[in-house]
Structures are given as C-alpha cells and as structure tokens.
Structure 1
Amino acid sequence: MGNGDGEAAEKGLSKLGLSEFAQFKEGNRLEMKAAQGRDGNGVIPRSAWETLSAFANTSGGVIVLGAEEPEDDTFNIVGIKKPDKVIDDFWNAALSDDKVSARFMQDSNVSKKTVDGKDVVIIRVPRADRHVRPVYINGDLFGGTFRRTHTGDHRCSHDEVLSMLRDSSTSSQDGEIAKSAKMEYLNRDTVAKYRRRFDSLNDNHVWSDFDELKFLEAIGAVAPGDDGKMHPTCAGLLMFGEHRYITHEFPHYLLDYRQEVGENERWEDRLVSFSGDWTGNLYDFYFRAYNKMKAALKTPFQIEGIDRIDDTPAHRALREAIANCLTNANWYERRGVVCVWREDGLEVANPGDFRMPIEEAMKPGKSDPRNEALLGMFALVDVGERAGSGMDKVMGGWAWAGYPEPTYKVEFGPDRTTLTLPFLNSSGVSSDFENPEDNRTNKSDESGKRATERRKDAIIAYLEDHGPAGRAAIASAVGLQASRASELLAELVSEKAIIAEGATRNRTFRLVDQL
C-alpha cells in the first residue's frame, strides 16, 4: 500500500484498539470480514471459523467482523447493526464441541468497538497451547484443521495433523522405543566417544562403573521392550545410530552442513549424513558441524599465562544454537537439519516450529523441548542448556561479540524454524572486534594501527590453529569483509609473515614454516 493509505489504515486500526497493526499485517495475522448478512444485522461467516482454526494452530491473530479490505490494501468499516447478537452467536458456537474442538478462547478475547458511529466485533485468537492442538472445526479432524501462511488459511495435510498430534502428547517424542531398531544399530565407536567425554566431565559418577548396556539405559538411550529385551529408544537411535538405520524409523532424517563462502562455487565444504563415510548421527554431527562453523567466529587475541583464550561467549552461543536445533527438531518432518556458513553470517534450521510463543521462549528458564531425552543426553556431556531454552545464551553471546542481533523465523506447512546469526548489519558492514567491554573501533590513527595489528595477529593465530586456508575462510574467521582481508593478507605476504600459494581464484595462505 502507498504511504498515505498505510498511515490512514494504521490510524483507523488504532481506533479499533489494534495498536499492533504493523505486526499483524506483516505476519498475515489480521483478517477482515464484512459479515453483513442479508439485512446488515451481522453474521459470522463460515470462513471465520476456518481462520480461527488457522490462527489457533499457528501464531494467533485478529479477526475483525464488520470491516472489509479492498484490493488496494486499505480497509473500510462497514459496521454491524446487532453486534451483541453476533457475539452471542459466536460464543454459542465456540463453546460447542460440534463447532470447535477445544475451549481455548477467553471472554476478554472478544469485544465490540464503535468507530465513526459504526459497530464492529473484534475477535483476538490466541495461539492455542500445544496440548490442545490441532484445533479443528465441525468435528472433522483431518478436514477441519487449518494453518495460517503468508497466503492465507490452508487446510492441513494428513502429515501436518499427525505432527500436531505428536506434539500434543505430554511425553517426549524421543523417549519411546524405536520400533524398527535393533541394538546392533547403535555405533559402538560413537557410544565410546560419548562415554569418554561423560567420564572426563563427571568424576566418580555412579554410572561410570556401569557396563555399556546399563549405562545406555541410565542415559535414556535404550529401554526394555514388551519382550523383556533391551531396545534403542528414538533418542538413542538418533544420538548413536547410523544414517542407514535411523532412516528406517525417521524416513525424512537428514543432517546437512554447508560452507557457502566461495564466490565461484555452490559451496566450499559440505557434510551430509547420507554420505556413508561417517556415522551420520546427531552426536558426531554436533561436533563436526561446530568445529567447522566456529572457524567463522572472530576470536580476540588474548593470552592467559602461555595459552591463547579462544573460547568466547560467541562460541558458546553457537554451541547452544546447534544443540537447540538438534533437540527441538521434529524428525518426522521433511527437509532435515541444515547448518550453513555464509559470508554474512551463520544459519541453523530445523524441521518443526516452536512449541511455545517465541517471545516466551526468549525468557530465561523457559523451555518446552520437543526431544527431552536428547536434551538430557547432550546436557550430561556439557552440551546445551538443560535448565531452559538457551535462547538467552544465544542472544547474549552474540551481543557480547558485537554482532547484530540474531533473528528467528518460523514457517508453517511444512513447519520449519530458522535461526540466523549475522555477522553484518543491515548496511552490509561487519562489526569490528576490539574487546568485550568495547567492540567499537576508535577512529584515531594510533588506535587504527593497533586494530590493524590485532587483525593481523588474529589471521596468524587462525593459520596456526587451522593450517593453510583461503581468503574467504580467513575473512569470515576473523570478522573481516573480503576486500579488507585481501589488503591485510597482501601486507602480511610483503612482510614475509605468510606465504601465498596458487592462482588467484584458488589461492591459499600459510605461515612461512608450515608445509
């Protein structure tokens, strides 16, 4: 809409008490219906119930009866002559099991407003708690369940309904026995690596004396079946299994890491669970993906004693983000977990939506993990935040490094949650890393020289830790734009601190004494 139309619409909606105009419009969470009926007294259209179901099963929204939205994206108040009767009709139907499957609406959600002498009915539909979803209408679970997308209401597929039903359970999805799994499906090397880490972090733990089977039962990876024998749980299969076996239970299972930093290739590095040259399970993926992605983070060149300090709150934020992604994934959904390293930031995406409103999940201590058994297993080896969602740790750690604020995006149909950890602000400028107390570069010449030397030190430290590397990887690792990285690399070459090898397109840089 044009600026004039937008301002007029916003002022009009403010009269309706809809101060969240921009938020509702941007998320397609505002629905207007003339609802006139034959005589103008007002009626609740059938489509309003579909929208109510859609809002309840997605992120909530507002239905305005007595208004219409022309094609120019403005709105007109047409009014309803008997709004009180419309409200009574709404509650009579909403409280009927034949119309709406769950009683999640409250009296305060429905109100009457008068705008320019015309009455309208405003229905604020909250996001329904996952324990009562899916919210469906007309007693038809598979035909009367709707979700809201950017294009409007859509009738949910059979798989979407089943996904919401699984999420409505009070028990964790991953705690049940994996029906298709056998004990030999668990990779013994991965189990051994997990146990070594557990023992190193938990001195004299009572579980340390358990044999392997008893230890796996203690952490929730296996459980006794109806036959009295031990079988892998879904969590155990995901954590310690191999891709070829995991897909027996979860056909859409996929883990995918990509480094999309190169200018001339689709990706410079890739790791997928189905490649066959590694296990493809969650435990191994977590460490492989993190060790690759952490190279993108800026590391302050600090010394404690004789050791470099290269684990920062930003590194912890990244670890938390990957752990959250894996433990909140809906492994029955399509597209799998995807972690991407790009020049402008990192991205982690998992199938499945948030099981609580994002604004609630942002609060410290708030958590509703989809896979509690996985979360517990990771927490036992100091991976992930068991006490809460960990989102506050992600946000705080990224802010500590001076990076722009991370963003979450939730899509529906299929459900997907994407966390973006940006390196660049909206103008495409990278933040400069100075120190935790002051991440802004002093503009004086002397300070600029010190900043340049610190960046050169960071490049040398990166090459010491990782060996020969290309310009793009170095730039991302130390938080520089490609052009600035090229300048500093050229200076280091001229200073004989590093050596450049190869043609321009595939050139790599190494320390003088590195082979």
Structure 2
Amino acid sequence: MPAISSDPSLLDRLVERLQSKETLDLEFKSVQGSIGKSVWETVSAFANTSGGWLILGVSDEGEPIGVGNGHERSKQFLDQIRNSQKISFPVCGAHDVEIQQVSGSDLVVVRVPAAARRDRPVYVQGNPYVGTFVRRGEGDYQCTKPEVDRMMREASDVATDSTVLPHYGLTDLDEGTLASYRRRYQTQNPTSPHLALDNSEFLRAIGGWRRERERSEEGITVAGLLLCGKEDAIREWRGRHLIDYQRVPQRNSEERWLDRVTWEGNLLGAMDALLPRLVEGVDIPFRLSGATRQDQTPVHTAVREALVNLLVHADYSETSASLILRSPSGYEFRNPGSSRVPESDLYATNRSDPRNPTLVRMFRLIGLAEEAGTGIPAILKAWRE
C-alpha cells in the first residue's frame, strides 16, 4: 500500500523545479475523477525517455487541488498499470507511489522509472505504433513508426552486426583492407594460431563470417562487410553514406566548411582517412620518453577514442549518417539513434551494452578499442589531461 506523508518537502522541491522551468522529467495532472489517457501517455513518455515524476491532483499552475480519496486513486493507478490494455508494461510498483497530504488535500506522487531497453517501447492503447510516447521539453510526443521500430530493434538481445547477409561473399570484401587488418592483427597478436588461416576462416574467427544454423546459411556478416567491405557493396546494402565529416570555420565566416568528406566505404578505411584530418594541426609540445620524442598528446588519444566509439556503436540500420564536426572551438561526434546505456552511467561507470559487439571485438583485436565500458571515461580522462 502506498505510504502517506504529510511532509511536503518532496512536493515543495518538485513545485520549485516547475517554477524554474525544469520540467523534462516532471508533470502535474489535475486528476479528480477517473485516471484519463493523458496520464498513461505521460507514463509511457517518461518510461521511454529517462524517467520522471508524475503528480496527480495538482493544476498545471502548480496549485494543489487534490485527487479526492488518495487511497482510492493510488489503488486505481496501481490496478490499471497492470492492465495491458492500459499500458504495455507495469513500469511502476507500489514502492513508486506515495500519497502526500497538503492543506487537507490528498495528492498522489508517482515516480516513473525509465524502462529497461528490453522492455521498450512502453505504449498505451494496445498498439505500439499509435501509443508510444517520449518526453521532449515540457511535453509528451507521439513516436513515429521509425522511432518505434528503433526501440523494437534495441529491445532484442540478438546483435544485428552478427547477421549473415544473403548473397554477399568474399568478393564483396576489399582485399587491401582485409590485408591491412590482418597485418594489424599480427602486430597485436603475434602468436595467434589464427594468423595461419585463410581469409574465410580468419573472418570466421573474428566474427566477419558466420553460419546461421536456423537458415542453414553462411556468409559475410554485417560486421564483416562494415569492417572491410567494398564501397559499392556497402552502398548496395545500405543505400547511402555512413559518415559525414565536416571541418567548419568560425561562425561568422562566409564559408560553410573548410573540408568535407562523405564516407561511403568501410570502417577501417574511415579510421585511416578521418583520424589524420581530425588531429591535423593539433599542437604537439616537445616531450621525451627516454630518448624518443612523444608525438601523441592527450588530445590525440581522446579524438581517436571518440572516433572509434562513433564507428563501432553507430546504429547502421538508421537511414541517417553519423556526423563529425570539427570547429575552432572543439569536436562533435554524433550518431543516429540513442544510447543503450543511461547518460549517468556513461560518465560515472564502466557499464557496457554494445549495439555492435562483433565490431567492438574486431577493433579491440587490433588495439583500436578499449575494454567494454571504458570508452567514454577514457575520452574524458584524456581530454582533461
């Protein structure tokens, strides 16, 4: 049963945030009768975004007007949240609901946690394509079909980069890129037995070639094509370029950009083509390690890690390209889609939930990706240095 509290401190803090316009994760509803569909739309929006607080019995202006009987209203909420016709997943439990008594009126305070990736989309009306909402700014917004499809893809534990591509084979791979990868692999793993394998078996060992037992089909995986595929094969599979790199001038310049690359080829080639552009002109102070000058600065390290993160964590099922902006004031790396790890965990923990685990492993095998969950902290550490 929800707890009853006459301590208004929680409500006071929430009202204060409302008045300061911090309302991304805060919503007031003037519920006095039955719980209407707008309440469930807000629950859906909070659950599909970053969670939030839902206060029942408060006007839009933040004035407490009550919900009538707080016990009845909270019971109604908890009963209905278990009804799949109301909402697809019971994201809240009794421990998330509290009755606040303010000026003799009962308010119901609901903490709506963010739903786990595997439980999304959380939707109402029994239909994800009409009942899925997300939180943007101060309101709830209905998701488009591509947004719902993205959530459904993300909910799966089957990594899309391990999918075998029908009708693609070794002839769709760039021999020079594969040879370059093998040389780097040998440098990092000089005693590996995989060095003696032919190309198809070597690809199988690193995840670029696979047999799907369900379909009794084997061939190049999505990760294999992305790693070292020919440009025309990647374009045929995806339909547009993977990465848009722009070096832009000062804001008041008449030029739109100083350098631009729309990359349509494989990811190893992208690494070789874009990293020099990203670090070109970066000041290198004179430093010695023993008798050898050090040409790598913390900026080089941070930029390299950011580029690798962009390449291996992008959602390549999305139609839009990854974007890299270099300006006089800094760098911006932007992938389509959303992070599979909450923002707070990205910066504070080593939690990892890679979208493309095969690609991550491929890059790690040649020393171009950190261990799971250390990418963002490594970037921040290098940048602070």
TM-score (norm 1): 0.68
Instruction: Tell me if the contact between 2:91 and 2:112 (Cα under 8 Å) persists in the aligned partners.
Output: no
Partner of 1:311: 296
Report the AA paired with residue 82 of structure 1. N
1:396 and 2:375 are equivalent in the alignment: no
| SS of structure 2 residue aligned to 1:207 | helix
Give the CA deviation at 1:50: 0.8
Secondary structure of the residue aligned to 2:130 is coil
Instruction: Give deviations 1:310-361, integer Å, cap 9, x for gaps.
Output: 2133322222211111222111223211111101110100011111211112
Root-mean-square deviation (CA, aligned residues, Å) is 2.4
Cα pair 1:16 1:115 within 8 Å, conserved: no
Quote the residue 1:260 is aligned against. 248
The residue aligned with 2:226 is 238
Distance in 1 (CA, whole Å) between partners of 2:98 and 2:231 is: 53
Deviation of the 1:259 alpha carbon: 0.8
Larger radius of gyration: 1
CA drift of 1:22 comes to 7.6
Assess, with a 3 A threshold, how the Cα gap between structure 1 residues 242 and 304 changes in structure 2: closer, same or farther. Answer: same
The structure-2 alpha-carbon separation of the partners of 1:65 and 1:330, relative to structure 1 and needing over 3 Å to count, comes to same
Q: Flag the 1:253–1:36 CA change in 2: closer, same or farther, 3 A.
A: farther
Q: 2:230 touches 2:266 (CA, 8 Å); kept in 1?
A: yes
| Whole-Å separation in 2 of the counterparts to 1:309 and 1:195 | 27
Match of residue 47, structure 2, among 25, 48, 56: 56
Structure having greater relative contact order (Cα 8 Å, sep ≥ 6) = 2
CA gap 1:318/1:184 in 2 versus in 1, 3 angstroms: same
Work out whether residues 33 and 68 of structure 1, in 8 Å CA contact, stay in contact via their aligned partners in 2.
Answer: yes
- Tell me the residue number matched to 1:320: 305
Give, in angstroms, the shift of residue 254 of structure 1: 2.3
Tell me the CA shift for residue 365 of structure 1.
Answer: 2.3
Confirm or deny: 8 A CA contact 2:14 2:26 kept in the other structure. Answer: no
Letter in 1 for 2:73: V
2:83 to 91, 96, 100: 96
3-state SS of 2:350 partner: coil
Letter in 1 for 2:128: L
Instruction: Check 1:296–1:393 CA distance in 2 against 1; reply closer, same or farther (3 A cut).
Output: farther
- Can you list the C-alpha shifts for 1:35-54, whole angstroms capped at 9, x where unaligned? 123xxxxx322111011111
Residue in structure 2 matched with residue 217 of structure 1 by the alignment? 204
Q: Which residue of structure 1 aligns with residue 3 of structure 2?
A: none
The structural deviation recorded for 1:229 is: 6.1
Judge which range, 343-352 or 22-31, deviates more. Answer: 22-31
Report the CA distance between 1:27 and its aligned residue: 6.1
Letter matched to residue 294 of structure 2? I
Cα distance change, pair 83–228 in 1 and its aligned pair in 2 (3 A): closer
- Shift of the 166–76 alpha-carbon distance from structure 1 to 2, 3 Å rule, reads same
Identify the residue that residue 164 of structure 1 maps to in structure 2: 151
Paired-residue identity, %: 34
- Which residue of the partner structure matches residue 356 of structure 1? 341
CA distance, structure 2, for counterparts of residue 149 and residue 165 of structure 1:
20
Displacement of 1:168 after TM fit? Answer: 0.7
Q: Once the 2 structures are TM-superposed, how far is the Cα of residue 55 of structure 1 from its aligned partner?
A: 1.1
Say whether the 8 Å CA contact 1:180–1:249 is kept in structure 2: no
Q: CA distance change for structure 1 residues 102 and 15 in 2, over 3 Å: closer, same or farther?
A: closer
Give the Cα separation in 1 of the matches to 2:69 and 2:100.
12
Unaligned runs of 5+ in 1: 1-11, 38-42, 275-279, 401-515
Q: 2:237 aligns with which of 227, 244, 249?
A: 249
Unaligned runs of 5+ in 2: 1-7
Map 1:66-465; keep pairs closer than 5 Å: 66-70=57-61, 75-150=62-137, 152-179=139-166, 181-225=168-212, 230-251=218-239, 253-261=241-249, 263-274=253-264, 280-295=265-280, 297-400=282-385
**3-state SS of paired residue (2:288):** strand
Give yes or no for contact 2:207–2:223 (8 Å, CA) kept in 1. yes
Q: 1:243: Cα distance to partner?
A: 3.7
Length-normalised TM-score, structure 2? 0.90
| Cα pair 1:66 1:119 within 8 Å, conserved | yes
- Is 1:28 matched up with 2:24? yes
Cα distance between partner residues in 2 of 1:259 and 1:253: 17
Please identify runs of 4+ aligned residues in structure 1 that moved more than 6 A.
none
- The alpha carbon displacement at 1:252 in A equals 5.2
- CA distance, structure 2, for counterparts of residue 101 and residue 296 of structure 1: 53
CA distance in 2, matches of 1:17, 1:46: 26
Secondary structure of the 2:331 match is strand
Residues 192, 230 of structure 1: CA spacing in aligned structure 2 closer, same or farther, 3 A cutoff?
farther
1:173-195: CA deviation from partner (whole Å, max 9, x where unpaired): 21111235333221111111111
Find the residue that maps to 2:280 and give its secondary structure.
helix
- Partner deviation per Cα, 1:91-136 (whole Å, 9 max, x = no partner): 1111122222123323221111123333211111111000111111
Contact 1:261 / 1:342 at 8 angstroms: preserved in 2? Answer: yes
Query: 2-side partners of 1:224 and 1:282: how far apart?
Result: 23
SS at match of 2:190: coil
Residue 14 of structure 2 corresponds to 18
